[in-house]
């Protein structure tokens, strides 16, 4: 029997960004108390938590303090120190464990896990030096993408390899960290899906969504993805269920995919709420954040239903102040301000979700006018 944690238990969150903030808001609505470990004072999560421990993630004493003051521990990003997390499991419940992080925190481990479970991934090879890079390119060919095996996000930590002329840039990346070489795939569109597993071990799959990126950063999500065939929906749901069951999943997991016709390839796994699942706050009976809290607290999750089509649009950098000025003219916007102090180009500052029946109209509604 899975242990159940009921309110007012304290949930400790490692990481104080926007994902932790939205986790905390969902948990507080249920009556849970929230603690957070985050080096940035007055963090987005800290603003809505009962307490914040302001220290580096690598500070083992700080992590032990969070563990002692919490009943359940979770995280909002994957680059958590596994040894430190293992060391506090005698103090606090860590329902997600560390195996999930070991697999998803390393791209070679992740691709190997997917491959071993018969799930479709692009051709790949681990690469640690120039000789291995040459051998991997000889096997996989061009075009390919060289990525660091850990870290990296929104296009950071990767190099496109289109010809031998790009190998020098690849060699520079290899000097920074071990890498993985992946064959670049042709695809019609990028899809993703959130999956979770309740305390009763029943897997719940969210709607499949379509994602549009700008400069490697998610710009808009259309939920559900338009014009999906029954076969493609079934294939994605089956893959998500296989992954969740094989991982003994607790919390929510994001699965990013490339689609070409009815064929999908799994690109990445995210062991936490995902940017492309934000639409669920307004558009679904259970948000990805509520599902995460229910799951890590050992509670069952009802079947996921979406009330109406939705579009989510990220607010990066100066998008947020521009959107705030325009918000009074757009009562249909569900606007989320993450409470970040510093505005930086490309930084995720908030998002807008709109709901309706006409997807093109929704896409038009989330356009932001630049300040003059």
Q: Where in the chain is the domain with CATH 3.30.1490.20?
A: 123-183
Contact present, 5 and 66 (Cβ < 8 Å): no
The architecture of the domain spanning 10-94 is 3-Layer(aba) Sandwich (3.40)
Q: Which CATH class is domain 189-365?
A: alpha beta
Contact present, 140 and 125 (Cβ < 8 Å): yes
Q: Where in the chain is the domain with CATH 3.30.470.20?
A: 189-365
Burial class (CB in 10 A: 0-12, 13-18, 19+), 363: middle
Tokens of 276: 């492309």
Q: Cα(first)–Cα(last) distance of the chain, in Å?
A: 60
Q: Where in the chain is the domain with CATH 3.40.50.20?
A: 10-94
- Whole-number pLDDT of residue 236: 96
CA distance 244 to 250: 8
Angle (CA) 22-278-145 rounded to 5° is 110
- Whole-number pLDDT of residue 130: 86
CA distance 13 to 46: 10
- Selection from 172, 180, 44 nearest residue 114 by Cα: 180
DSSP string, 106-139: SHHHHHHHHHHTT-----EEEE-SHHHHHHHHHH
146 Cβ neighbours under 8 A, 6+ residues apart? 127, 133, 158, 159, 161, 170, 173, 174, 179, 180, 181, 182
* Single pTM value for the model: 0.95
Contact present, 77 and 151 (Cβ < 8 Å): no
Return the CATH superfamily for domain 123-183: ATP-grasp fold, A domain (3.30.1490.20)
- Whole-number pLDDT of residue 156: 74
- Selection from 237, 214, 231 nearest residue 314 by Cα: 214
331 Cβ neighbours under 8 A, 6+ residues apart? none
pLDDT tens track of the chain, all 372 residues? 689 999 999 999 999 999 999 999 999 999 999 999 999 999 999 999 999 999 999 899 999 999 999 999 999 988 788 999 999 999 999 999 999 999 999 999 999 999 999 999 999 999 998 889 999 999 999 999 999 998 766 567 889 999 999 988 998 999 889 999 999 998 999 999 999 999 999 999 999 999 999 988 999 999 999 999 999 999 999 999 999 999 999 999 999 999 988 899 999 999 999 999 999 999 999 999 999 999 999 999 999 999 999 999 999 998 999 999 999 999 999 999 999 998 888 899 999 999 999 999 999 999 998 765
């Amino acid at each position: 029997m899975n242990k159940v944690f009921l309110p007012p238990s304290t949930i400790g969150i490692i990481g104080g960004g926007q994902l932790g903030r939205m986790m905390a808001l969902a948990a507080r609505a249920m009556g849970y108390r929230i603690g957070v470990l985050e080096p940035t004072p007055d963090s987005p999560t800290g603003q809505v938590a009962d307490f914040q421990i302001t220290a580096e993630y690598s500070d083992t004493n700080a992590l032990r303090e969070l563990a002692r003051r919490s009943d359940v521990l979770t995280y909002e990003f994957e680059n958590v120190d596994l040894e430190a997390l293992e060391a506090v499991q005698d103090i606090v419940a860590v329902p997600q464990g560390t195996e999930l992080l070991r697999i998803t925190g390393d791209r070679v481990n992740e691709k190997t896990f997917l491959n071993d479970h018969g799930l479709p991934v692009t051709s790949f090879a681990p690469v640690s030096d120039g000789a291995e890079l040459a051998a991997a390119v000889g096997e996989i060919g061009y075009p390919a993408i060289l990525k660091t095996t850990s870290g990296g996000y929104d296009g950071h930590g990767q190099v496109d390899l289109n010809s031998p002329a790009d190998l020098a840039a690849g060699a520079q990346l290899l000097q920074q960290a071990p890498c993985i070489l992946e064959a670049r795939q042709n695809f019609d569109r990028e899809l993703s899906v959130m999956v979770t597993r309740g305390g009763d071990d029943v897997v719940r799959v969210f709607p499949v969504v379509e994602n549009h990126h700008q400069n490697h950063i998610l710009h808009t999500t259309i939920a559900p993805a338009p014009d999906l065939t029954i076969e493609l929906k079934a294939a994605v749901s089956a893959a998500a269920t296989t992954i969740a069951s094989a991982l003994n999943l607790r919390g929510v997991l994001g699965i990013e995919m490339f689609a070409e016709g009815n064929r999908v390839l799994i690109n990445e796994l995210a062991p936490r709420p995902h940017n492309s699942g934000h639409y669920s706050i307004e558009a679904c009976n259970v948000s990805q954040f509520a599902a995460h809290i229910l799951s890590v607290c050992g509670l069952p999750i009802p079947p996921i239903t979406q009330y109406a089509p939705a579009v989510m649009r990220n607010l990066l950098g100066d998008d947020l102040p521009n959107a705030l000025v325009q918000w009074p003219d757009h009562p249909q916007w569900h606007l989320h301000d993450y409470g970040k102090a510093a505005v930086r180009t490309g930084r995720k500052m908030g998002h807008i979700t709109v709901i309706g029946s006409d997807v093109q109209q929704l896409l038009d509604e989330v356009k932001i006018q630049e300040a003059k």
